[in-house]
Every structure is written in structure tokens, then in C-alpha cells.
Structure 1
Amino acid sequence: MLDLFSTGVRLRFASLGSGSRGNATLVEWAQGSLLIDCGFTVKETELRMARLGKTARDLTAILVTHEHSDHIKGVPALARRYDIPVYMTPGTYHSRDLGELPKLNLIHAYTPFQLEGLQVNPVAVPHDAREPAQFVFEYEGLRLGILTDLGSITPHVEAAYQACDAILLEANHDPFMLASGPYPPSLKQRVGGQWGHLSNQQAAGFLQRIDTRRLQHLVVAHISQKNNSLDVARAALEPVTQAVQQVTYACQDQGFDWLAVVQVERIAASA
């Protein structure tokens, strides 16, 4: 594993792909690395990890946000092949037949836990899954938030993602494109509903309401290929992201490359 401390980096993250055809996010810190979701086959996952200089044998654990196929499809096979511990809520585990998971760890009542020095804070979100969770990670004073697959921003969610140093945030659809697009009415209602996915405008409103003064990286993720576009999402978010050091737009095929979250000296203002 790369010696992150030798380069001054404490925490970094990358994506194998982000969208309705498969999702997986890598998080790495000095003592370990984890994969959040795996919506790809084992072969495809291995190829995408190799592009980022990693292998499945490097993984400390796999975290699962919920049971939809674009997030969980490859988890059981990958975990079994490489004997990787898997963490998910009981609702996610019991929602479908995942077969034997030799190192299954159930996250009860969204209780925080530690993985090799990394604090993992599960966050309950409104999504049309049985017991979905998103995550905020803390390591040596740094905070990384992963927030996709939710239909609305609750006060609980807003409180959980304050003062992050990096956030991966869903901006799934443009309401006009969704309404006029090819989806059947029932699917449009699901995607645009309170338990579906965030629109560009909802993502922008969330960013306006949280403390972003520490935000080094904003990654805009889970962008719909049919109900959104890069230009439309950027136009909605640019007015509220002017102060963010780096804004990255994740894509389905390439995800995004490693982004480093670093310690920034914070000097209190003189009285």
C-alpha cells in the first residue's frame, strides 16, 4: 500500500464508477482501505481497481449502502473470493438472498464503529430501500462525507454532513428533463419523489445550508444519463460552489481518480 504519510496525505478517495449501471467508491487511509458498494461484476471491479493502482486484496472491508443492484450486485462474489469483511444494516442484509458472507458485520441502529483507526458514522437517509445508510468518515480530524441515493434532505442528514473536508454528493436529475424524458410515469414519480434521488436543485440547496468552509473537494455523483447532463448539473451547482477548492463530476464509466484530503492549518481569528 502507498505510504500516504510520506506524501503528507492522510486520506484519499476515488470512484470505480457512478451511475445507474454501477457504483463503487474507494476510501484509503494510512492503515487501510475500503470499498463502499460494488455494483459491478468481480472481473469489472478488478479491472477498475487496477486502473487506480489497487487490488481487492488491499481492502480492509466492503461497506454496503443499500440493496439495489447498482450498489450490491458484486459484493457477495467479491467478498467470498477475497475473504473480505462486509458491513451493512440488518435491513439491507435481509432484503435479498446474498448467499454466505463469511465475515458479515451488521450495523445495528446506525451505530458508529472503527475500522483500523477510521471512524465510520452511518447515516440514515430517506430512500426506497429497506434500511439504507450513507456514511461520514473521520480520520485524524478530517471528515469525508458520502451522500447519494436519497430523495430528500432531512434535518438529521443536514446535521450529519456539517463541516466536511470533502463530500461526494448526488445530483441525479433535472426535474424538467425527468418530467419530459423517456421513463414511465411510475418511475418518474419514484425518482423524483421524497424517497428517490436528489435533483440538481436539491443538491444545491443542501450545499447552501451546510457549513462548507472546510470543503476541499466536492464530487458531484450519480448523475443520470437520461434525466440530467453535465452542463445542466454544473449550471445549477456553480452558483453555490464558488468557494469550493475543487469540484469534480463523477461519471459512469471512469468514476473519478484519487482525490487527496489533506490537513489544513486552521488559525483562529485573533480577538
Structure 2
Amino acid sequence: MSLISPACRDALQNWLDGLGALSGRSENTLTAYRGDVSEFLSFMTLHHSESQGMAAIARITISDMRAWMADQRASGVGSRSLARKLSAVKTFYRWLSEREGFEPTAVLSTRAPKFTQKLPRPMAEDAARAMIETVEMQSASDWVSARDVAVVTLLYGCGLRISEALSLTGADTPLPNSLRITGKGNKERVVPVLPVAQTAVDQYVKLCPHPQSREKALFRGVRGGPLNPRAIQGVMAKARQQLGLPSTVTPHAMRHSFATHLLSAGGDLRTIQELLGHASLSTTQAYTAVDTARLMEVYNRTHPKA
């Protein structure tokens, strides 16, 4: 931030404060935006060899934008990451131009690089079940095993993000037939809870040596504090090695598998969108491509060729 003028630094902070208060953006998103826009403004200072005050950044040209994008490319930034950075810069400039009354066309008209949308990498249904069974065998402690199984079952059975599963508190137990989950952007959704997930959590609570309270985290680490997501990432890494599964099998892959298996069973996209908490249906539509890809894989493997 040292290369950014005080006026620009204040404007950036005001923008971020507004996003946090009015748009409900997550801390991770705000941190990413701060880094992307700060990096952009710092580049412009070096590019022009002088501090870029409010008047200067209002005069950014198409040539300046090309120079920034070329610098990013030369630094090894991929198309997907560059598109994300450009999106943050455009969002900031759109807000700043309305506030300061300048024309932001040079920034807003800059085209993002094209990139191939990565498809979610779900697991096969039998692999998902095997993962839960194998996770249970990774700890010598019964309560830790029960804890890990309960978390992974929630990821796969309810389509939760790991952060959402670990945000549950003692007040959420015993698990009801449906949970009200607050996800990204403070977006609320209601997800049904399968009996198998209720049973897994009940078993964990029964064995957990740390007293439960309504205010404290439901899932605890060995010393009693809130469970760190790295613990679940680690236990799944061990399990996938034993099962011979690829490195794409992560806690988030369980959520992808939940959505893909629902779609395969006849679930409609709108319902799956609501269960996952996606703000846009286009995000959920990626699972259609996954399902089609799986169908073609089976077709090519089994269809009798002439």
C-alpha cells in the first residue's frame, strides 16, 4: 500500500467498507479485492514514475491498461486469475467514477482474457461412500473418528461448504430435519438433513470429551478449540491415498459430488441452486456439463462400436 497516495488509499478503504456493510461480501472476498486493486494502483505509480493521486487515476488510458495486463502476464498470472483481478479493478472504478464524476471507459472497456471454465470434479457415488468409511479409520481416538465422519457426511449429505459445517454450534444439535445455513455473502438457505447425517452428528456429540454449549463451535479440535478445516483436509488426504483417489478429492469435492449425484438422480437445477446457495443459476449450470461429460464417458466406454 506504500506506493498508493493517501487519497487513493482512503477511497479504496471506503469502497471496501461499503461492500462489507451493504453487499455483505465475505472477509475473504474483501481481502482479495484489496490485494488486487492495491496491486493495480501500485503498478500505475511505477508505470508513470510518480504517485497516482485521484486526478491521475481518473486519466488512466487504454494504453495504461494494456501495460498492466502485459505486466501481469509477464509475472506468470494466468487467464483466470487476471480476469478476476480485472473484475475487481472494474468494480472499484465503477464506484469511484460515480463518486468522483469522471469517465471510466478505458478501464471498463478492457476485455478480460478468455479462459476455459473449469468443471467441478465430483467423485463417483461408490467413491464418496468409501471416503466416509475410510475417514473413520484414520484416528485411534473414537471421538475424533466420529467427528471426522460427521463433518464429511455433512459435506456430502447436505452439500455444505467446509466453512459452513464448521460454523455450526451446540445450538444446532440435535440436528433438525432442516438447517438454516448462512453462506457466502451472508446468503441464507435451508437445507434438508438426512437421517444418516443426524446419526453421525449424534454419535460424535455422544463421544466428544469436550462439553457442548449453545454458543461454542459444535466441532472441536483435540484441545477443545474450534476445529480447524486443515484437520479435515488432512484426514481426507490420507483417506484418498489409501483409496487411490486423485488429489482433486478434497472437502469441496464432497459438495460437488452432492450436487452432481442429485442431478443424476433427476434433481432440477433450480432446486440444486437453492440447496447449494449459488447466487447465480449459471454457476449451478456447470453441473450440467459435468453430468453430460460423465454420460459421454459411459457411452464411449460401453457402446458397441461397429
TM-score grouping bracket, smaller chain normalisation: under 0.3
Structure of higher CA gyration radius: 2
More helix by share: 2
User: What TM-score, normalized to structure 2?
Assistant: 0.23
Structure with greater contact order relative to length (CA < 8 Å, sep ≥ 6): 1
More strand by share: 1
User: What TM-score, normalized to structure 1?
Assistant: 0.25
